[in-house]
Amino acid sequence: MVGIYFSGTGNTKHCVEKLIHLLDGTARAVPMEQKEAADLLWEEDFIVLGYPVQYSNVPVMVRDFIQSNSGLWKSKNVLCVATMALFSGDGAGCAARLLEKFGANVLGGLHIRMPDSICDVKLLKTSVEKNQRILRAADRKIENCAEKIGRGKYPKDGLYFYDRIAGFVSQRLWFYGKTKNYSDKLKISMDCTGCGLCTGLCPMGNLTLENGRAAAGSRCTMCYRCISSCPSQAITLLGKTVIKQGRYEKYVKE
Ligand SMILES: Cc1cc2nc3c(=O)[nH]c(=O)nc-3n(C[C@H](O)[C@H](O)[C@H](O)COP(=O)(O)O)c2cc1C
Ligand code: SF4
Ligand code: SF4
């Protein structure tokens, strides 16, 4: 068993690591952007695949990973784990359908509610207490799920036809292609001190230092990792200012 995940702000990383640990104390979880992920996919036959939903869809990076390793999925047992802030009809189903096209045996889908990773839109921010309650509920759901899987019962979140209708009508119909449209929209303000932190964090290699300041290219996949980590709060995407940065490890310390 191996966990392969993509995680912008640490939510999905936590969920996959916790689930994997409960299912098999010796199993590892690796981020998708590491080269090792494809090697482990080749070696292992049970994959826990985790990602955050973006507009009720699979992030571009995750879709690319699945497609660029299309020959490795045949007969693999896969559990799709989708984290989300509020709702996604078929967050797990979106990857499941693609994986089945490449011959994978999708055993289940798990939806886990986590804090919202979008930190520059006021409407989406909640209190620390509420986020901590969300995290406790998420941990309980993961523990429950691991216990049921131990008895051979897999969750089926997001895998039914009506989930697909819900995901389409509530989000994809309106936001389809939004992540592509935002691939070159990252804004870096004059508050940037040129510390370079973001350039090492971006999973897409989309950030560089130019003349002592960060500069963004056109490969952003809206993961919010750099925006949530910049010490000067100089990066924004959907909004104009950072309201409150949120990362998984920050919530557990608060
Ligand atoms: C661009 C973008 C789109 C998102 N769309 C949704 C969505 O459609 N539904 C939802 O419930 N959460 C949505 N979220 C919230 C994330 O899915 C959620 O916070 C997730 O747990 C982040 O996980 P991570 O820290 O592993 O990246 C979105 C976040 C981003 C950045
Ligand atoms: S992390 Fe922030 S301050 Fe540091 S280089 Fe990037 S944008 Fe500038
Ligand atoms: S530029 Fe920032 S938000 Fe965009 S993919 Fe890179 S780390 Fe994620």
pLDDT computed for residue 173 by the predictor: 72
User: For 156-186, how does the pLDDT look when each residue is reduced to its tens digit (9 = 90+)?
Assistant: 999 999 888 877 777 777 777 777 788 999 9
Does residue 7 have a pLDDT over 90? yes
Q: Quick check: is 228 in a domain?
A: yes
Which of 147, 175, 203 is the last residue in one of the domains?
Answer: 175
Tell me the pLDDT of the chain averaged across its residues. 94
- For a ligand 2 pocket test, name from 192, 202, 220, 225 the mutation site with the most ligand atoms within 8 angstroms of its C-beta: 192
Place of tokens 């640490």: 10
CATH number of the domain that residue 204 is part of: 3.30.70.20
Structure tokens at 154: 């897999």
Q: How far is the CA of 68 from the centre of ligand 1 (A)?
A: 23
Among the candidates 175, 200, 216, a domain finishes at 175
Please report whether residue 117 resides in a domain: yes
* Segment 191-212, tens digit of pLDDT: 999 999 999 999 999 999 999 9
Cα–Cα distance between 16 and 150 in angstroms, integer? 16
Q: Are residues 149 and 191 in the same domain?
A: no
Is the alpha carbon torsion for 35, 18, 93, 155 positive or negative? positive
End-to-end distance of the chain based on CA atoms, in angstroms?
A: 33
Say whether both 199 and 169 belong to one domain. no
- For residue 48, give both structure tokens: 């826990």
Q: What is the DSSP letter of 198?
A: H
Residue 178: the pLDDT is 74
128/233 same-domain check = no
pLDDT given for residue 167 in this prediction: 73
Cα 35 to Cα 63, 68, 180: the distances in Å are 16, 12, 24
What atom of ligand 3 comes closest to residue 225's alpha carbon? Answer: 7
For 187, the domain range is 182-246
Residue 128 placed within a domain: yes
CA–centroid distance, residue 235 to ligand 3 (Å): 10
Residue 227 alpha carbon to ligand 3 centre in Å: 7
Q: How far is 101 from 99, CA to CA, in rounded Å? A: 5
Question: Residues 108, 199: one domain?
Answer: no
Task: Indicate whether 214 belongs to any domain.
Answer: yes
What one-character DSSP code corresponds to residue 124?
G
**Do 166 and 206 share a domain, yes or no?**
no
Q: What is the pTM of this model?
A: 0.95
Tell me whether residue 254 is in a domain. no
Within a domain: residue 253? no
User: How remote is the CA of residue 21 from the centroid of ligand 3, in Å?
Assistant: 28
Using CA atoms, how far apart are residues 6 and 103, in angstroms rounded to an integer?
21
Q: Which ligand is nearest to the CA of 189?
A: 2
Task: Please report, as a single letter, which amino acid is at residue 175.
Answer: F
Residues 49-69, mean pLDDT to the nearest whole number:
95
Distance CA 164, CA 190 (A): 43
Helix (H) or strand (E) holding 31: strand 28-31
Residue 136 resides in a domain: yes
pLDDT in the model for residue 174: 73
Residue 46 within a domain: yes
If you measure from the C-alpha of residue 212 to the centroid of ligand 1, how many angstroms do you get, rounded to a whole number? 31
**Ligand of minimum distance to the alpha carbon of 226:** 3
| Helical spans, DSSP H, in the chain | 11-23, 36-43, 60-68, 91-101, 128-150, 161-167, 173-175, 178-181, 197-201, 225-229, 248-253
Same domain, 203 and 139: no
State the Cα–Cα distance between residues 187 and 168, nearest whole angstrom. Answer: 29
Between CA 8 and CA 203 the distance in angstroms is 9
Residues near ligand 2 with C-beta < 6 Å? 188, 192-198, 214, 230-232, 234-235
* pLDDT higher than threshold 90 for residue 56: no
